[in-house]
Structure 1
Amino acid sequence: MAEVEELEHEEQNIEKRVRQKGKHDKPKPWDDDPNIDRWTIEKFDPAWNPTGMLETSSFSTLFPQYREKYLQESWPRVESALKEYGVACKLNLVEGSMTVSTTRKTRDPYIIVKARDLIKLLSRSVPAPQAIKILEDEMQCDIIKIGSLVRNKQRFVKRRQRLVGPNSSTLKALEILTNCYILVQGSTVAAMGPFKGLKQLRRIVEDCVQNKMHPVYHIKTLMMKKELEKDPALANESWDRFLPTFRKKNVKQKKPKSKEKKPYTPFPPPQPPSKIDMQLESGEYFMSDKKKSEKKWLEKQEKQTEKSTENKRKRDASFLPPEEPMNNNSKANNSEDGKNDITELTQSLKSKTKELKKQKKTHERVNAEEYIAGPSSIDKPAKEKSKKNRD
């Protein structure tokens, strides 16, 4: 009986082992504890690692020359921030590099990775006060490389500007909705924030640069999600019915209508003749290979002669003198000048004839006696003289 009980106990143990997926996959007492929030990031306590690090770890990164002056000014601030966590840092201006390394005072093993991200952000033109925030536990960083996503440089610049928006309005909206700091610099986008926001932001940036979706549509969906989060009744439901769906529309351009409408025929258009049909019509199909080659050679010779004559004509044309343009305008001007001269002559002749006629009339009216001094002229009174003049 004892043996039978032992066998049953062993079978039960085997069944239990089979049900468990792994060696360490065992139910824990805190798995069903409702007071534990598994999404909270606990702050590191130095008491968890009192002995410190066994080996020194170090990371270094290069920075561009235009950042040298700024880094030199803000380096004391970076040093003091890293000193709190027991991390040493060094700025090498000769090589143009920044180095961070662990010391004996370092307790947090993950802080060296955070320090590496800090120097990476500083080299990518992120301001020092903002870059120092990466040392916090809730903050993470992501550097999205967008330079290789588009080949054409003009398109790349246009799409990068689309991401920034007019007066950086699109970028500000994305920063508010994703709770991330965004910096578009050159061919990279440096972002700082929580994991959820960084994941959303990477998708938005890649869709914008690859021309899949405009950032404004992503902003609309994020705004709706933010409103839906406020309703506790929709916490465990799907939001697909509330979110808008944006599809790419290919607008078909209308073809210009032809003026002459062809008459409708139920029969299909005739089949175009094939190469063999054309050879049968010309009789080339029945020719021998020798004759075919001769025909090809003759056609080639004709083309060559046509080409040579055309080239000769072009060469000879350069030696011919250019044709002088006909001065039609000068002839017209001459004719107009001649007409003007004739009119002037006629007017001058008319004026001269009028003057001559006037002179003749005056000669007829003149009396010689008036100009001769005599007794008659003295004795006559002044009234009679005036009467004669009137006559």
Structure 2
Amino acid sequence: MSVNAPSHALQPETSKQKKAKKRAAAEIAANGEGSGDGEIVNKNKRHRKDKPWDTDDIDHWKIEPLPAPTSDTHRPFLEESSFALLFPKYREPYLRSVWSSITSSLDSVGLACELDLVQGRMTVKTTRKTWDPYIIFKGRDLLKLLARGVNAPQAIKVLQDDIACDVIKIGGLVRNKERFVKRRQRIVGPNGSTLKAIELLTDCYVLVQGNTVSAMGSYKGLKEVRRIVVDCMNNIHPIYRIKELMIRRELAKDPKLANESWDRFLPQFQKKHLKTSEKTAKKNATKERKVDPASQPASSTPAAPTSTQAAEPAKKAKKTYTPFPPPQQPSKLDLQLASGEYFLKPTQRDNIERRKREDKQREVASQRRVEREEAFIAPPESAAETVVEKKKKRKRAEELM
């Protein structure tokens, strides 16, 4: 900028000036002045340009190998980078037993590590041998997995280029503790079957522990695992995503469907959640639709109940749901005031209570006496058929034949 520039050019733009510029750019885009053919351009895609180098035959998921430099070309980093993570107390004995193997694995990629048992902290840092600038993040992920309960042989695999990790925090997705435990158990499934299916379909290692879900695998697989876990905590069962992944795997085998949309093959699951008021209205509408016995015509006489119907116990009619609480029951004092007992003398009240108690005792004693006497009642005896009765019975049977 020249020395003779005006003073207002040195001042930053105000919010009004920025809004005016945006409004002018939007008007130009709407009028088609910015494009040669006069088409309206979306403001989000206004500054996008063609990428001739980005063709369809490029595999964006492919990871290019990065070979280690020779001793002549290697130059150490100017600054030391480090990450420190805390680990829970119960992991201390295991970390002490496997720390030698972790140290050797990190040393092979040019990293150093420390285990502080006093403060409960693990540290990883670069050294003069480090040549890969991204390997420090891989070391941080290794410590993160070790702190979350992953075994050391499995966690060391994250140092490879084609394996990444993702620690999904699920503790804050569900408020209710019981609901959270149930939905977390859905990810594991009965005897771990759901978790095994997720691992087979995504080619990832998944560990559910505490308030997190640790996953290791390719970037594409980790994307699917995160989608399944988050949806499960939002009350979408993992079986729906597992079915979709199975269908996608089968469709990928057919080369004819490579350039077609798979939406017609994938299942469409509709998620319906009704509010409390909607549920109440639905229940009441269902009850009104049922035929009320009082609305039947008087001429139609009800059929006599059969033996099976008489044997079945009468079903209780369901009460209509109301959002209002039940009325408050009267207290003992209210009942005494209503009956006038409250205004009696204490001796009179005691006499009434004693009389009620004696009446109840007499009633219970008479009921028990009847139950005891039932044991002494002789059962009805049926006399054996005489010869005359047998002959009559035989003649009646012959006549019927």
Same fold (TM over 0.5): yes
Identity of matched residues, %: 54
In structure 2, C-alpha distance between the alignment counterparts of 1:139 and 1:78, rounded to whole Å: 17
Q: Which amino acid aligns with 2:255?
A: P
Tell me the residue number matched to 1:41: 63
In structure 2, C-alpha distance between the alignment counterparts of 1:245 and 1:226, rounded to whole Å: 17
In structure 2, C-alpha distance between the alignment counterparts of 1:331 and 1:198, rounded to whole Å: 75
* CA shift for structure 1 position 32: 6.7
Tell me the residue number matched to 1:255: 287
In structure 2, the CA distance between the partners of 1:89 and 1:330, relative to structure 1 (3 Å rule), is closer
In structure 2, C-alpha distance between the alignment counterparts of 1:135 and 1:200, rounded to whole Å: 21
* CA shift for structure 1 position 232: 1.2
* CA shift for structure 1 position 45: 1.7
Q: 1:132 and 2:166 equivalent?
A: no
Q: 1:116 and 2:148 equivalent?
A: no
> Aligned to 1:204, which of 228, 232, 238?
228
Tell me the residue number matched to 1:275: none
In structure 1, C-alpha distance between the alignment counterparts of 2:116 and 2:50, rounded to whole Å: 52
SS at match of 2:244: helix
* CA shift for structure 1 position 115: 0.2
TM-score, with structure 2 as normaliser: 0.60
In structure 2, the CA distance between the partners of 1:173 and 1:316, relative to structure 1 (3 Å rule), is farther
* CA shift for structure 1 position 112: 0.2
In structure 1, C-alpha distance between the alignment counterparts of 2:117 and 2:212, rounded to whole Å: 24
Q: 1:245 and 2:268 equivalent?
A: yes
Q: For residues 56-135 of structure 1, what are the structure 2 equivalents within 5 Å? A: 56-135=80-159
Q: Which amino acid aligns with 2:194?
A: T
**Worse-superposed segment, 319-328 or 236-245:** 319-328
Q: 1:170 and 2:176 equivalent?
A: no
In structure 2, the CA distance between the partners of 1:330 and 1:191, relative to structure 1 (3 Å rule), is closer
> Aligned to 2:252, which of 199, 219, 229?
229
* CA shift for structure 1 position 26: 9.4
Q: Which amino acid aligns with 1:243?
A: L
In structure 2, C-alpha distance between the alignment counterparts of 1:100 and 1:157, rounded to whole Å: 34
Q: C-alpha root-mean-square deviation of aligned residues, in Å? A: 3.6
Q: 1:55 and 2:79 equivalent?
A: yes
In structure 2, C-alpha distance between the alignment counterparts of 1:94 and 1:57, rounded to whole Å: 23
SS at match of 2:136: helix
In structure 2, the CA distance between the partners of 1:218 and 1:38, relative to structure 1 (3 Å rule), is closer
In structure 2, C-alpha distance between the alignment counterparts of 1:216 and 1:62, rounded to whole Å: 35
In structure 2, C-alpha distance between the alignment counterparts of 1:144 and 1:178, rounded to whole Å: 16
In structure 2, the CA distance between the partners of 1:226 and 1:37, relative to structure 1 (3 Å rule), is closer
Q: For residues 1-391 of structure 1, what are the structure 2 equivalents within 5 Å? A: 39-47=61-69, 50-211=74-235, 213-248=236-271, 254-255=286-287, 257=290, 258-261=292-295, 310=337, 319=346, 320-321=349-350, 322-324=353-355, 325-326=358-359, 328=362
In structure 2, the CA distance between the partners of 1:33 and 1:204, relative to structure 1 (3 Å rule), is closer
In structure 2, the CA distance between the partners of 1:312 and 1:103, relative to structure 1 (3 Å rule), is farther
**Which is greater in Rg?**
1
Aligned residues, how many? 270
Q: Which amino acid aligns with 2:244?
A: T
In structure 2, C-alpha distance between the alignment counterparts of 1:122 and 1:161, rounded to whole Å: 22
SS at match of 2:139: helix
* CA shift for structure 1 position 41: 1.1
Tell me the residue number matched to 1:374: none
* CA shift for structure 1 position 52: 2.4
* CA shift for structure 1 position 43: 2.1
Q: Which amino acid aligns with 1:184?
A: V
User: What runs of 5+ residues in structure 2 fail to find an aligned partner?
Assistant: 1-45, 274-278, 298-332, 371-401
User: What runs of 5+ residues in structure 1 fail to find an aligned partner?
Assistant: 1-20, 264-305, 337-391
1 or 2, which has the higher helix percentage? 1
Q: Which amino acid aligns with 1:43?
A: P
TM-score, with structure 1 as normaliser: 0.61
* CA shift for structure 1 position 178: 0.5
In structure 1, C-alpha distance between the alignment counterparts of 2:214 and 2:227, rounded to whole Å: 14
In structure 2, C-alpha distance between the alignment counterparts of 1:318 and 1:154, rounded to whole Å: 54
- Deviation track 1:207-241 (CA, whole Å, cap 9, x = no partner) reads 11111x21111111100100111111111111111
In structure 2, C-alpha distance between the alignment counterparts of 1:318 and 1:173, rounded to whole Å: 78
